Amino acid sequence: MTDRKVTANLSLSLDGRYHGPGGPADFGTFIPYVTSDVARDQMNRIWETATTAVLGRGNAEGFLGFWPPVADDENADPRDRGYAKWLVGVEKVVLSTTLTEAPWDRARVVNAPAADVIRELKASGEGEILVNSSPSVIKPLLEADLIDRLYLMIFPEIVGGGERLFEDGLPATSWTLTHLDPGKLGEMAMVYDRAR
């Protein structure tokens, strides 16, 4: 086993939800915050030392439709462009039970439990493994206590419905706040490291 760290990033409302009551595509209340300086700086923070991106199928397909053109857009915010270039070029592992071929270059599809995939990735290679904004992957990794760092963006909205990241039944764990950056709109970027 190598000493590769497993990190994960996600944006949450004040009531702990990663989307609104309209389902996985309901991000309307998050939109004003995702392009703030604090959010863009947090986005840069997540990928700086990551050499592998792990995505669920939904994000892999959604990101493919958005990020590659940003990598080539000279008018894009440099932070967005840096992230986009990283995402296009990095090794990507897409967890899916339905895909038969990878939706990206430098990607492979794996149909296996998230914890097994992460243990296999930790056993070889170097650099951090970033679970990139994919709650369907983050949740089972929290259950298996396999996440070493959480990058969280908290937006000052109560959406009143939608799925939560932290469900009842997770094992008790302790975390240390290692970074906090409040934004002008009331958003907060936080980094928590697992205290082991």
pLDDT band of residue 105 (cuts 50, 70, 90) is confident
**Residue 64 binned pLDDT confidence (cut-offs 50, 70, 90):** confident
- Of 46, 27, 59, 66, which is closest to residue 155 (Cα–Cα)? 27
* CA 30/CA 128 separation, integer angstroms: 27
Average pLDDT score over residue span 150-163: 96
- Kindly report, residue by residue over 121-134, the tens digit of the pLDDT: 999 889 999 999 99
What was the pLDDT predicted at 1? Answer: 58
Neighbours of 133 (CB within 10 A): 23
Q: Which residue has the higher pLDDT, 141 or 22?
A: 141
Which pLDDT does position 140 carry in this prediction? 97
Residue 27: predicted pLDDT: 84
Averaged pLDDT of the chain: 94
Per-residue b or e along 142-157, where b marks 16 or more CB atoms closer than 10 Å to that residue's CB: beeebbbbbbbbbbeb
Using a cut of 0.85, tell me whether the model's pTM lies above it.
Answer: yes
The pLDDT value given to residue 171? 95
Tell me the mean pLDDT in the region 63-88: 94
pLDDT value at 149 more than 90: yes
SS3 call for 122: helix
β-pair type (188-194, 175-182): antiparallel
What is residue 77's predicted lDDT score, i.e. its pLDDT? 94
Bridge-based pairing of strands 91-95 and 6-13 is: unpaired
- Evaluate if residue 23 carries a pLDDT over 90: no
Residues 94-104 have pLDDT tens digits of 999 999 888 78
**CB contact at 8 A, 152 and 12:** yes
Ordered domains of the chain (ranges, CATH): 6-180 (3.40.430.10)
